[in-house]
Structure 1
Amino acid sequence: MITVADVEAEAERIAGHVVRTPTLSSPGLSGLLGVPVTTKLELLQRTGSFKARGAVAKLLTLTEAERAAGVVAVSGGNHGIGVAVMAGALDVEATVVMPRSAPGRAVDIAKASGASVVLADTMDGAFALMDELRAQGLTLVHPFDDPVVIAAQGTVGLELAEDAGELTDVLVSIGGGGLISGVAAALHARRPGVRVWGVETEGARAMSAALAAGGPVPVELSSVVSTLSAPSVSRLTYEHVSALVTEVLTVTDAEAVQGTLDLADHAKVWAEPAAGCLLPAARRVLERVGDGARLGLVVCGGNATTADVTALADRFGLR
């Protein structure tokens, strides 16, 4: 289990490499949900998501031999962008493996940053190919199964604790669980009374399945939200979530896409469905905790184009 001291150490390590993103109250979302809402705008982070934090933290720990050999990462989109951009900035060769379902924009940005991009047919296949490349001598920058990465993602929670007003409940999206593990560790230390809720989509329920099974298990992926689609969580993230998170909620893909549209209309931010899923989950949290809640939403990323979201909205018949 990481500690707040680990998170503070990573905050020092990555300072100057990442943005301290804004923590802002949202009148629009407060009006929509009927309670005060504060947003942590990680979509304004370098590379368009929180993933830059963990990526650069891990890259900064490499030995000279590891730097020379290069790194490999597997990603549904945002982690690949983060590793590619930050590796390019640090002059480290990077190979990024993505499934063919990854957003085209993520592939383009990773390539433009100088990374070698390899596409696999499925996310399971991408993880298998990542293992092969690691066996060939590349250093793995894992998207979530690494204490350095988790602690660096936890700097989001550290900044939220320092910058937000009163909060009762914080919602965080879950793919493999690295972000929520770090955020929960930081918030439990700095804001011990705050409840932390995880959010998944129904077709990418790796953490929910792990909690039901008592440990990580493989899941079949069917969600259109590729950036939350991990084939399983890790023992490390499972242990953090089972100990520190109140509950993991699930929403449909359609609800996540509608949440993206609602964030644009009411919060005036262009997020991706991995963040849009927070809004339908927030309504469920409010049903459970009552009107006295003061919500914090970690808006994890914004790497979706208008064309991406419009296509999904049309697919689900949303307006």
Structure 2
Amino acid sequence: MLTTVADIEAAAERIKDHVVRTPTLPGVGLSALLGADVTVKLELLQRTGSFKARGATAKLLSLDEAERAAGVVAVSGGNHGIALAVMAGALDVRATVVMPRSAPARAVDIAKAAGADVVLADTMGRAFALMDEYRASGLTAVHPFDDPTVIAAQGTVGLELAEDAGELTDVLVSIGGGGLIAGVAAALRALRPGVRVWGVETEGAAAMSAALAAGGPVPVELTSVVSTLSAPSVSPLTYEHVSALVTDVVTVTDAEAVRGTLDLAEHAKVWAEPAAGCLLPAARRVLTRVGDDARLGLVICGGNVTTADVADWAERFGVR
């Protein structure tokens, strides 16, 4: 069943004392860059540096006493692990975070500093398998996207955008496993039914595009440097939301995502990660399809990336 706006409103009430209502602002510099009206939702200013704090908090608050005592486990390419570690520490719940070795070192360090037990796996697929093993041993899994509680909480981003933004025609949301776009699309289609919602992926982490082409979730090979979007597959739950509520999913290259990160810094004055940077090249593609009179909303999903990482990627891809 698809998430309802009532589910999202209930999640908003549950987490309101633990998360930030992030700013929704005119993206003046981006409007000049793209040649269309742009509004930004600055989730990189959320607690833990990304929207993931919303879903992690909602799931932690839903635990009963036995589940709290046993602890929780999550798999993450970075942001979900940071969010779970920090919010579990704040709520006095023991957390284990499984990350692939490709995860940013900063994410690993933050999760450890927050008190989580961090386990590294050789691949993202192996990380998900390890999470299942920990769950079988009695820990409660806090899945990064395949959970109605998490999706409803991520949908509070869309709820706030609907309440705080001016008139929008098109909203762009990055996709990893699809939890954020599932929740945002559910909120916007209920509250602003005329708004088109677009997903954005990088070519080496295009699990939702593959699912839409196949008619359901399929495993994909992960080659993107954007670890925070690198889910080995989407879930039936997120696929059903996207196939029902999202206009289309756009793919961009890693180089374009890194260029977008630099453009966000230069033109929007925000330091975002490539998972958000990919929205800018995608916005150009969307504008060619819908026209320059569109009024865009961009969900700037996170900012957990170092200057060194971006500099390395920029050099690798020849981005200046």
In 1: Cα distance, 2:204 partner to 2:319 partner: 19
- Secondary structure at the residue paired with 2:205? coil
Report % sequence identity: 85
Partner of 2:120: 119
1:261 aligns with 2:258: no
The structural deviation recorded for 1:65 is: 0.2
Partner of 1:134: 135
In 2: Cα distance, 1:114 partner to 1:265 partner: 35
Tell me the amino acid that sits aligned with residue 143 of structure 2: H
Partner of 1:235: 236
In 2: Cα distance, 1:36 partner to 1:216 partner: 34
1:294 aligns with 2:295: yes
In 2: Cα distance, 1:137 partner to 1:214 partner: 34
Once the two structures are overlaid, the 10-residue window that deviates more, 309-318 or 47-56, is 309-318
Partner of 1:49: 50
In 1: Cα distance, 2:292 partner to 2:39 partner: 15
In 1: Cα distance, 2:3 partner to 2:44 partner: 25
In 2: Cα distance, 1:139 partner to 1:5 partner: 25
Provide runs of 4+ in structure 1 moved above 2 Å. none
In 2: Cα distance, 1:111 partner to 1:59 partner: 18
In 2: Cα distance, 1:68 partner to 1:291 partner: 54
In 2: Cα distance, 1:250 partner to 1:284 partner: 10
In 1: Cα distance, 2:149 partner to 2:136 partner: 21
Tell me the amino acid that sits aligned with residue 140 of structure 2: T
Residue deviations 1:227-264, cap 9 Å, x none? Answer: 00000000000000000000000000000000000000
1:1-319 to 2 correspondences below 5 Å: 1-319=2-320
Tell me the amino acid that sits aligned with residue 184 of structure 2: V
Number of aligned residues: 319
Tell me the amino acid that sits aligned with residue 265 of structure 2: A
Residue deviations 1:244-300, cap 9 Å, x none? Answer: 000000000000000000000000000000000000000000000002100000000
In 1: Cα distance, 2:58 partner to 2:161 partner: 19
- Secondary structure at the residue paired with 2:204? coil
Is there any run of 5+ residues in structure 2 with no aligned partner, and where? none
In 2: Cα distance, 1:308 partner to 1:165 partner: 35
- Secondary structure at the residue paired with 1:203? helix
Residue deviations 1:138-187, cap 9 Å, x none? Answer: 00000000000000000000000000001000000000000000000000
- Secondary structure at the residue paired with 1:154? helix
- Secondary structure at the residue paired with 2:96? strand
- Secondary structure at the residue paired with 2:68? helix
In 1: Cα distance, 2:21 partner to 2:141 partner: 26
Tell me the amino acid that sits aligned with residue 195 of structure 2: V
The structural deviation recorded for 1:226 is: 0.2
